[in-house]
Structure 1
């Protein structure tokens, strides 16, 4: 329980410090840069996910076609 209190206190102190730093021009620029990089990273993750999903869908479609072809040959 003591560790949870320290964690919450640390998070609170971090938010207060970040708020104070963001009031300066350099701090605002720093947080803008961090925000830009975080958005770029998120976009890259989404793009990678969509690309992999497309690959898997294509593989499943190919497998379905192969199974249908084999099934039709057996009849």
Structure 2
């Protein structure tokens, strides 16, 4: 139970610090950069998944398009 409390305190402190950092121009630039990289990574993962899914469907003979 004690570790859950410390985890919650740490998360809350992280949010407070991130909010304070985001108040500055450098902080906003930093978070924008992190956001752009995370979105690019997520898009690459999704694209790879869809490509592999289409490949497996072609190999299985089930050529129904996946949306």
Bigger fraction of residues in helix: 1
Larger RCO, structures 1/2 (Cα 8 Å, 6+ apart): 2
Give CA deviations for 1:34-69 in whole Å, capped at 9, x if unaligned.
00000000100010000000110011008xxxxxxx
Normalising by the residue count of structure 2, what TM-score does the alignment of the two structures yield?
0.90
Normalising by the residue count of structure 1, what TM-score does the alignment of the two structures yield?
0.81
| RMSD over aligned Cα atoms | 1.0
In 1, the alpha carbon distance for the partners of 2:51 and 2:7 equals 38
Count of aligned pairs between the two proteins: 62
Question: What are structure 2's unaligned runs of at least 5 residues?
Answer: 63-67
Instruction: List 4+ stretches of structure 1 deviating above 2 A.
Output: none
